[in-house]
Amino acid sequence: MTEADNSVGIVTAQLAVFDTPLPLLSGSLIGNWELKYETYGTLNRDKSNAVLVCHALSGHHHVAGRYTEDDAAPGWWDSMVGPGKPIDTRRFFVVGVNNLGGCHGSTGPSSLRPETGEPWGAAFPVVTVSDWVNAQALLADRLGIERWAAVIGGSLGGMQALQWTISYPARVGHALVIASAPKLSAQNIAFNDVARQAILSDPDFHGGDFYRHGTAPRRGLRLARMLGHITYLSDDGMGEKFGRMLRSGEYRFGYDVEFEIESYLRYQGDKFSDIFDANTYLLMTKALDYFDPAADAGHDLAAALSDVKASFLVASFTSDWRFSPARSRELVDALTRADRRVSYAEIESVHGHDAFLMLDPPYVALMRTYLDRVAQEVGA
Amino acid sequence: MTEADNSVGIVTAQLAVFDTPLPLLSGSLIGNWELKYETYGTLNRDKSNAVLVCHALSGHHHVAGRYTEDDAAPGWWDSMVGPGKPIDTRRFFVVGVNNLGGCHGSTGPSSLRPETGEPWGAAFPVVTVSDWVNAQALLADRLGIERWAAVIGGSLGGMQALQWTISYPARVGHALVIASAPKLSAQNIAFNDVARQAILSDPDFHGGDFYRHGTAPRRGLRLARMLGHITYLSDDGMGEKFGRMLRSGEYRFGYDVEFEIESYLRYQGDKFSDIFDANTYLLMTKALDYFDPAADAGHDLAAALSDVKASFLVASFTSDWRFSPARSRELVDALTRADRRVSYAEIESVHGHDAFLMLDPPYVALMRTYLDRVAQEVGA
């Protein structure tokens, strides 16, 4: 099969403009905000086949397909979304959205503030997972989608899927929560804070208003990304891929690249720091830290889930140490105690946290089977 | 029991000056070098009761005791070294030494170079674990110690203990290798490289010659230490100690300290960046990366250990994910294949890698029992 056969093909991003101010959990209001989004497939007559794909820390609305014939790379989850793929665009109407605070076209710290004509910078308010879900709900209204057949996400995306079932119980049929956690651990927060400190202490950060200085905290963002990457891969996976391989075959006794793993990480860091907005990175890590739906229910996750109506697929990967299987089981246990419908899969993989973006066959089979059932339910 | 009863008391550091140049693994020679060291207890008549304590990444020669009556803190392993303690100074003559390249009095990047009267800075050569062991052997000669009853170390210190048994098989009775590994994994190297990049990319680093600019790469060193700390603690231990505790009881929606874990890490980073030399930090991480005694024996660790005469105690801690028990078992397996004497203990602890510095009762009992046997063997 050629790519053309199972690709959504050439896609175009769209912009939804909202002029009603959005109240945020922090107490701030954000007025005149925009969401960049893409859709694939066709919304059926009774509007029952819509699927929302929520993105993780560095993701965006461009989930599948290419913008031009010679586009270098497709959307970030092209492997999972397309005709005949597990999230089958012949059956589902799939929506991808760049979250508020993002740097891929939705209103965020690097966007021009209408009031001033300058980038928001440090003035952009901190946004949370529930703020994103509220914004996504307004986009759903705009698209005429009263109820999602499924809301799907990995990692931070999984937290959005979970939040949807709590914030809008009647609007979610199924939540697919993959490689995620119901809240961050102290270690998770610690890694995020080192990443943030790398950015905040970069002399080019200028308190978040680096745009007007014509610079960007690339050093800090590069370090944050290098560190992030370590937590996305498993120890064993890194060992298999890089081991102690030396770039030049021998020790050089200096600080240039010596081990292949150094080369890989520095490349990832450099590339990311060229394209991503540091303020968005900060916001995303804060949204991760703050997410804790049980907190409002006396720290009892089952109580937080008592009004949930969705059915759940929770999936974790054996070598994921960022959000280990134990973290997914916390959610599964709470859903069970709350007497909700939940399927749980702990998938053998060497790919660590990144496995949610990969194509380990048991994972693909699981997604295909589960989403086939969802499609049948909604007659798609 | 009061501290006075089991403390080595007031101690004084000493300096050994060497004027014969030391050849390093890198091919460099280092001339006119000095080692700062301390000793506790008394060398017996047949000089059979000497014990060398090797330090880890941020350690030094000041292992036990205090410099003055009102010294704020004792040496870094005071809990383990003293009269009646597991490394019993009533029986052993204990030597602590600051390694070459250190920043606590031995010749290192922040030392004045005799030829120029300026700090070495970037000109200081990269040193390795086997270089340190060679330097320590010259110190042993100076002290009249032909053979150590035991060489003891945790983490990077354990690597030195292991290297001693390979470089000087006749000079080591017992090697105690605690919370260590026979080589770093790709993930270990990756963490080190992020720490190095934080320092190297700090604008105050000035290519290693920051001394002459009257500055220091404190931002980078602070990040390196924060990151290091995460890897020293276990996920569960951090969870027990800090969890998601908030400093002010509620979310502040900003980038100041919010979670207690952030406060702890930033404090550790700030404190460390005030007192430690960034070039030394770089060197120490390189010594870790390079350590791989099997490499010279066709990557067969058992072959690398074939001439070893020492008996081994290898100990690991269940929650240590920096150098997990599996890494210690690699060494134990190789020692067993090489038909060497080895005892192995995998100690239940929530303290992660830091456990080697703590006093979990089974660990203390193990050290006490093993070292009692060593003392009996040498008639101490």
The confidence score (pLDDT) of residue B55 equals 98
Q: Strands (DSSP E) along chain B, which ranges? A: 14-18, 22-23, 29-30, 33-40, 50-54, 81-82, 87-88, 93-97, 148-154, 172-178, 311-317, 342-347
Each residue's pLDDT tens digit, A246-298: 999 999 999 999 999 999 999 999 999 999 999 999 999 999 999 999 999 99
**Alpha-carbon distance A141 to A14, whole Å?**
15
DSSP-derived pairing of the beta strands A50-54 and B148-154:
unpaired
Q: Which residues of B touch A184 (CB under 8 A)?
A: 244
The confidence score (pLDDT) of residue B105 equals 98
**Alpha-carbon distance B284 to B183, whole Å?**
14
The confidence score (pLDDT) of residue A2 equals 55
The confidence score (pLDDT) of residue B76 equals 98
* Whole-number percent of chain A with pLDDT over 90: 98
DSSP-derived pairing of the beta strands B93-97 and B33-40:
antiparallel
Interface touch B254/A223, C-beta < 8 Å: no
What mean pLDDT do residues A140-159 have? 98
Interface touch A185/B238, C-beta < 8 Å: yes
The confidence score (pLDDT) of residue A306 equals 97
**Alpha-carbon distance A340 to A308, whole Å?**
7
In the structure, what pLDDT confidence band is assigned to residue B115 with cuts at 50, 70 and 90?
confident
**Alpha-carbon distance A365 to B26, whole Å?**
52
Q: What does the buried/exposed string (b/e) look like for A158-172 if buried means 16 or more CB atoms within 10 Å of the residue's CB?
A: bbbbbbbbbbbeebb
Each residue's pLDDT tens digit, A203-257: 999 999 999 999 999 999 999 999 999 999 999 999 999 999 999 999 999 999 9
Interface touch A261/B190, C-beta < 8 Å: yes
Residue B2 has pLDDT above 60, yes or no: no
The four Cα atoms B311, B317, B323, B324 give a dihedral, to 10 degrees, of 110
Q: Does residue B46 carry a catalytic annotation?
A: no
In the structure, what pLDDT confidence band is assigned to residue A4 with cuts at 50, 70 and 90?
low
Rg of chain A (C-alpha set)? 21
Report the mean per-residue pLDDT for chain B.
Answer: 97
Q: Does residue B320 carry a catalytic annotation?
A: yes
Q: Which residues of B touch A233 (CB under 8 A)?
A: 187
CA A121 to chain B, closest CA, distance in angstroms equals 13
Residue B4 has pLDDT above 90, yes or no: no
Between residues 97 and 126 of chain B, which touch chain A (CB distance below 8 Å)? 125-126
| Residue among A155, A180, A328, A349 flagged as catalytic | A155
Measured between alpha carbons, how far is residue A270 from residues A58, A221, A275, B131, B376 in Å?
A: 15, 9, 9, 34, 58
**Alpha-carbon distance B261 to B258, whole Å?**
9
Q: DSSP 3-state assignment of B176?
A: strand
Element spanning B84, H or E? none
For B230, which of A191, A196, A238 is closest by C-beta distance?
Answer: A191
The confidence score (pLDDT) of residue B225 equals 98
In the structure, what pLDDT confidence band is assigned to residue B5 with cuts at 50, 70 and 90?
confident
**Alpha-carbon distance A120 to B58, whole Å?**
42
Each residue's pLDDT tens digit, A59-81: 999 999 999 999 999 999 999 99
Q: Which two tokens stand for residue B258?
A: 């919010």
**Alpha-carbon distance B315 to B328, whole Å?**
7
What mean pLDDT do residues A135-150 have? 98
User: Quick check: B310 and B175 in contact, CB under 8 A?
Assistant: yes
CA A44 to chain B, closest CA, distance in angstroms equals 41
| Residue among B7, B106, B130, B155 flagged as catalytic | B155
Neighbours of A79 (CB within 10 A): 17
The confidence score (pLDDT) of residue A302 equals 98
Q: Which has the closest alpha carbon to B233: B268, B206, B281, B203?
A: B268
For B227, which of A194, A233, A259 is closest by C-beta distance?
Answer: A194
* Whole-number percent of chain B with pLDDT over 70: 99
Each residue's pLDDT tens digit, A9-48: 999 999 999 999 999 999 999 999 999 999 999 999 999 9
pTM of the model: 0.97
The DSSP bridge partners found for residue A148 are: A172
**Alpha-carbon distance B310 to A144, whole Å?**
76
Q: Does residue A155 carry a catalytic annotation?
A: yes
Q: Which residues of B touch A187 (CB under 8 A)?
A: 230, 233, 235, 238-239
The confidence score (pLDDT) of residue B114 equals 85
Interface touch B227/A126, C-beta < 8 Å: no
Please state the ipTM of this predicted complex. Answer: 0.96
Q: Which two tokens stand for residue A49?
A: 């086949």
Each residue's pLDDT tens digit, B312-346: 999 999 999 999 999 999 999 999 999 999 999 99
**Alpha-carbon distance A280 to A283, whole Å?**
5
Q: Which two tokens stand for residue A225?
A: 């990304």
What mean pLDDT do residues B37-55 have? 98
